[in-house]
């Protein structure tokens, strides 16, 4: 984490938040043939925030992203909102736990985040639909989290290498 | 990517396979091909009869006891208390698409996992 002036820090986090909202909103239009599987591009910005700034900023960015994107899309407190929120809570918790160990690179953090995002969404789906059968989707989500997490983690690594803030 | 990342990826990969295998096992274990008759009273299941065992069962309907007999993979309502005795007159039933309905007693008997009567209904909505 580098030292920034409060104004510079606020500006940078706001820009990262704006980009993560954009990614969050654009992502559903990306054609991925497997239902329920997404790349998780917004997670790139969360990881960058975590590494550039601190845990608090990343948590704030992730939650603000879900709330603002849901408000903009008009789905606040709808099923989609709770699915995103469940995913974000689970992925943020696991990312923070693994980050504290200081043993994982952004690729590892991203893969874990992606896997637990799926787990959080499945838990919310199980609660909404009142059936445990939704858990049948979990192996596919966990398996797909490896390539998707690897892609987003690699992008984060490359961005962090080139970023001069 | 360091060795911790690789270990995490291997862990997630193995977990997804183990999860999938355990779910497959659970589905196979919980669903069997055994032919059973499901007896419901006012849309609530009250009895599940193994059709491979010849026996007589008694369930309580709205107007009184309903006697169900199983013999040679077939089932019938032996006797019951109702104005016209339609379900006992129906006789032996062995197909999944032929239910027994004792309307005055609010008893419905449906055979599951059995074959379908080719001369019966051409479709069944469940």
In CATH, what number is assigned to the domain containing residue A83?
A: 1.10.1760.20
| Domain parsing of chain B, residue ranges | 1-31, 36-112
Sequence-ordered alpha helix ranges (H) in chain A: 6-26, 42-52, 55-73, 79-101, 106-129, 138-162
**Residues A112-161: tens digit of each pLDDT:** 999 999 999 999 999 998 888 888 889 999 999 999 999 999 999 999 99
User: What token pair was written down for A40?
Assistant: 């998780």
Q: What is the pLDDT of residue A100?
A: 93
Q: Which residues of A touch B13 (CB under 8 A)?
A: 143, 146
Kindly report, residue by residue over B7-41, the tens digit of the pLDDT: 999 999 999 999 999 988 887 877 767 889 999 99
The model's pTM: 0.69
Token pair listed for A59:
């948590």
User: B49 near B94, Cβ under 8 Å?
Assistant: no
The pLDDT of residue B125 is 59
Residue of A nearest to B9 (CA): A146
Cβ(A108)–Cβ(A153) below 8 Å: yes
Domain ranges, residue A145: 6-162
Q: What are the tens digits of pLDDT across the range B69-102?
A: 999 989 999 999 999 999 899 999 988 888 999 9
Q: What was the pLDDT predicted at B119?
A: 72
Q: Do B9 and A150 make contact, defined as CB atoms within 8 angstroms?
A: yes
> Is A82 within the bounds of a domain?
yes
What tokens were used for B74? Answer: 């077939």
Would residue A1 count as lying in a domain?
no
- Cβ neighbours around B71 below 10 Å, total: 13
Q: How confident is the model at residue B105 (pLDDT cuts 50, 70, 90)?
A: very high
CATH code for B36-112?
2.60.320.10
A103, A140, A147: best mutation site toward chain B, by most B Cβ within 10 Å? A103
Place of tokens 């696991």: A94
Q: What is the edge-to-edge ordering of all strands in the sheet holding B107-112?
A: B44-50, B36-41, B107-112, B100-102
Would you say residue A80 lies in a domain?
A: yes
Could you tell me if A48 and A159 are in contact, meaning their C-beta atoms sit under 8 angstroms apart?
yes
Is A138 in Cβ contact with B9 (below 8 Å)? Answer: no
Count structural domains, chain A.
1
* CB half-sphere exposure, B36, CA atoms < 13 A: 12
How many angstroms separate the CA atoms of A53 and A46, rounded? 10
DSSP assigned state of A27: G
Residue B121 has a pLDDT of 61
Instruction: Please calculate the CA angle A160-A105-A44 and round it to the nearest 5 degrees.
Output: 50
Is residue A76 in some structural domain? yes
Question: How many Å lie between the alpha carbon of B9 and the closest alpha carbon of chain A?
Answer: 6
Residue A3: which residues within 8 A CB-CB, separation 6 or more?
Answer: none
Give the range with max mean pLDDT: A44-53, B27-36, B112-121.
Answer: A44-53
Model pLDDT, residue B120: 65
Are A146 and B15 a contacting pair at CB < 8 A? no
- What is chain B written as a DSSP string? --HHHHHHHHHHHHHHHHHHHHHHHHHHHH-----EEEEEETTEEEEEEETTS-EEEEEE-SSSEEEEEEETTEEEEEE---SS-HHHHT--B--TT--EEEGGGTEEEEEESPPP-TTS-S----
In a domain, A69, yes or no: yes
User: For residue A136, which residues of chain B lie inside 8 Å, CB to CB?
Assistant: 23
Q: In whole angstroms, give the CA distance from residue A26 to residue A22.
A: 6
């Amino acid at each position: 984490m580098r030292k920034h002036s409060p104004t510079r820090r606020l500006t940078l986090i706001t820009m990262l938040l704006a980009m993560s909202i954009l990614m969050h909103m654009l992502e559903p239009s990306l054609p991925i043939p497997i239902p329920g599987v997404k790349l998780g591009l917004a997670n790139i910005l969360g990881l960058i925030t975590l590494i550039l700034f601190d845990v608090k900023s990343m948590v704030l960015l992730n939650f603000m992203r879900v709330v603002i994107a849901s408000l903009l899309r008009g789905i606040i407190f709808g099923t989609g909102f709770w699915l995103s929120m469940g995913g974000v809570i689970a992925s943020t918790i696991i990312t923070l736990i693994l980050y504290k160990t200081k043993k994982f690179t952004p690729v590892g953090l991203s893969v874990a985040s992606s896997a637990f995002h799926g787990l959080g969404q499945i838990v919310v789906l199980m609660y909404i639909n009142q059936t445990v059968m939704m858990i049948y989707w979990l192996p596919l989500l966990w398996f797909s989290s490896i390539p998707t997490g690897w892609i987003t983690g690699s992008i984060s690594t490359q961005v962090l290498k080139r970023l001069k803030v | 990517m360091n060795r911790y990342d690789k270990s995490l990826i291997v862990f997630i990969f193995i977990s997804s396979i183990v999860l999938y295998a355990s779910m497959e096992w659970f589905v196979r274990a919980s669903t069997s091909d055994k032919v059973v008759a499901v007896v419901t009273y006012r849309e609530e299941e009250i009895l599940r009869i193994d059709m491979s065992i010849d026996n007589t069962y008694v369930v309580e309907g709205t107007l009184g006891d309903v006697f169900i007999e199983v013999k040679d993979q077939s089932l019938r309502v032996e006797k019951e208390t109702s104005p016209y005795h339609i379900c006992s007159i129906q006789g032996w039933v062995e197909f999944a698409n032929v239910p027994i309905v004792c309307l005055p007693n609010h008893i419905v008997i449906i055979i599951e996992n059995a074959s379908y009567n080719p001369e019966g209904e051409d479709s069944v909505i469940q």
